[in-house]
Structure 1
């Protein structure tokens, strides 16, 4: 099933991929990059049927988190809102993968 993506205005200059496992204390940054690497992150997510959400402000903050590190408490609220949006979309579509 193709996942919806938000409209974009040209190429994104940066992208971050996060994942959340219930056994972890917080979501974790699993990929991040600028330019062509950012485009590859987005393309790979779309190829795997993952939702892509555009939020330049949140991406800017998440770019400061080291790879394979949990997000800091200061970002919990913003990421929780993103995950709630994702879960609502997946529930509407009748499936839940647990990946963001």
Structure 2
């Protein structure tokens, strides 16, 4: 008796699975489901386009920032070189003045 109940339970579960599986396939392949899939795919494509525009803008901004940073560094190096030349000219002028005063 107990064995029959277990067998019937397993057969019932199998039959239920087949029934839900068959119904699920019909639901998933229906025209309404296809419309949902189509609209979902269209929404994903719109989102992709939006993300690509934002990524492009971010990349352009990053390139501008990099170019600006390079220019700042070049300006600083040039200013440092000019300061070094001015310091060297001052030292040379002081040495020349000292030599003339010593003579």
Higher strand share: 1
Rg larger for: 2
For this structure pair, what is the TM-score category when the shorter chain's length is used for normalisation? under 0.3
Q: Which has the higher contact order (CA 8 A, sep 6+)?
A: 1
TM-score between both structures, scaled by the size of structure 2: 0.22
TM-score between both structures, scaled by the size of structure 1: 0.23
